[in-house]
Every structure is written in structure tokens, then in C-alpha cells.
Amino acid sequence: MSELRFPMFIPLEHKKIMVFGAGKVAYRRINTLLLFHANITVVSPAVCKELENLINQKKIYWIKGSYPDCLIETDAFFILAATNDEKINESIYKECKKNNLLVNNAGNQSQCDFFFPAIVETNDLIVGIAGNGSNHKKVSETATKIRKELRGGE
Ligand SMILES: C[C@@]1(CC(=O)O)c2cc3[nH]c(cc4nc(cc5[nH]c(cc(n2)[C@H]1CCC(=O)O)[C@@](C)(CC(=O)O)[C@@H]5CCC(=O)O)C(CC(=O)O)=C4CCC(=O)O)c(CCC(=O)O)c3CC(=O)O
Ligand SMILES: NC(=O)C1=CN([C@@H]2O[C@H](COP(=O)(O)OP(=O)(O)OC[C@H]3O[C@@H](n4cnc5c(N)ncnc54)[C@H](O)[C@@H]3O)[C@@H](O)[C@H]2O)C=CC1
């Protein structure tokens, strides 16, 4: 893929974000979104220990269930489809499109209205890093280098 992706920096405070799936990818992304004080609802039949802690601390809201039994809330600012079922992720994508909602299918780049960046944050800077979708490792390694440069480690 060689398309250029335009970075936008959007305040997320109090905006509702729905995340379908509560595994490794969902956890990584929820942690990133919490930095921005988003109002996160996660839908999944089960959650990992780390997410359970966030739910108990009331940092995120959990709907215990599965798509399509649990529907997409149309007042969501955007939706992340991050289940481990390709067909389910695709159905979520299609329902979002029908409702004019922004959606990211973590398993399929052709079903992403926007892409999830790697983030480096300091007191007064936010750096968002993305590639062209061909080298996730390079994006991640670049974030690590910039973290070292700006924060001296981590
Ligand atoms: C295109 C994109 C679409 C989107 O927005 O969803 C996408 C897609 C996919 N990633 C895959 C694999 C991995 N992604 C990571 C890590 C990150 N991926 C992220 C973003 C994006 N990933 C989007 C834009 C990327 C860009 O700009 O180029 C980051 C930046 C942000 C975040 O996710 O938090 C985060 C680094 C954060 C940081 O380090 O800070 C690792 C781990 C690693 O490399 O260390 C692995 C491999 C190991 C693993 O399995 O974890 C697969 C194959 C899945 C499969 O085959 O099943 C797909 C699917 C596909 O390519 O179609
Ligand atoms: N974009 C990225 O960075 C990456 C994307 N992926 C893709 O992301 C997706 C998720 O990967 P992982 O987090 O590793 O999976 P995982 O197996 O760790 O977690 C999947 C989660 O989905 C939930 N789930 C399953 N069916 C569901 C349904 N019908 N409704 C709601 N929740 C449901 C499960 O309970 C579980 O919590 C896969 O599609 C994979 O291809 C994988 C690695 C990296």
C-alpha cells in the first residue's frame, strides 16, 4: 500500500468510543485512548485481567455480550472492530458504514476509515506516528526512538 495518510489531532474528551473485542489489540488501543480521556465502552463476552482492572476502576464501561447481539450505539464518535473473528469484524464495519459511523477494522486495512497511530506524549507534545500500512514494526520502533529522544527512555 502506498497511499499517504493525513494525520488529524482530535480532542476525544467525553467522546463515546465503542470497542468490539477485549483481547491484546483492544487492550493496547484502549490504553492509548485513555490518555485522551475518551468515554470507552467495550463489548465482549469476556475480558482479560488488565481490562478487568480498568472496568473495576470505572475507567471504561463493559457490555458483557457479543456482536451482533449487542448492537452499535449510533452516538459513538468512532468504533474499533477488534474481535478475533474476521466475519464479525466485517459485519461491524458494514453496519457502521450503513449508519455513517467512522470505523477501524483492526484486521483489514481496506475497512478502516482511519488508522491507529503509535503515540508518544510528553507534557506539551503529542506525536502520532503512522506508516503506509506495510511495516507495523517500523512504526513501533520509530515510536520507541522518539520516546527515547523526547523522554529519555520508556
Ligand atoms: C494498518 C493498521 C490498521 C489499523 O489502524 O488497525 C494496522 C494493522 C495491522 N497490524 C498488524 C500487526 C501488528 N501491529 C502491531 C502494532 C501496532 N500496529 C499499529 C497500527 C496499525 N496496525 C495500523 C496502521 C499501521 C501503520 O501506520 O502502518 C500501532 C501503530 C498502533 C496500535 O495498534 O496501538 C501498533 C504499534 C504501537 C506502538 O508500538 O506504540 C504489532 C506489534 C508490533 O509490531 O510490535 C503487530 C504484530 C504482532 C501482533 O500480532 O501484535 C496486522 C497483522 C495482524 C494479523 O496478521 O493477524 C494488521 C492487519 C493488516 O495489516 O491488515
Ligand atoms: N492492527 C493491529 O495492530 C493488529 C491487528 N490484529 C487483528 O486484530 C484482531 C484482534 O486480535 P487480538 O486482540 O490479538 O485477538 P484476541 O484473541 O486477543 O482477542 C479477541 C477478543 O474478541 C472477543 N470477541 C470474539 N468474538 C466477539 C464478538 N462476536 N463480539 C465481541 N467480542 C468478541 C474475544 O472475547 C476477545 O476478547 C484480529 O482481527 C487480528 O487480525 C492482530 C494483531 C495486531
Residue nearest to atom 10 of ligand 1 (CA): 136
Helices and strands: H and E segment counts in the chain:
4, 7
What is the reported pTM?
A: 0.94
State how far the alpha carbon of 141 is from the alpha carbons of 61, 114, 126, 131, in Å: 31, 21, 17, 11
- CA of residue 136 to ligand 1 center, whole Å: 5
Has the ipTM of the complex gone over 0.90? Answer: yes
Alpha carbons 24 and 102: distance in angstroms, whole number: 22
pLDDT tens for 3-22 read: 789 999 999 999 999 999 99
Name which residue sits closest to atom 13 of ligand 1, judged by CA.
Answer: 136
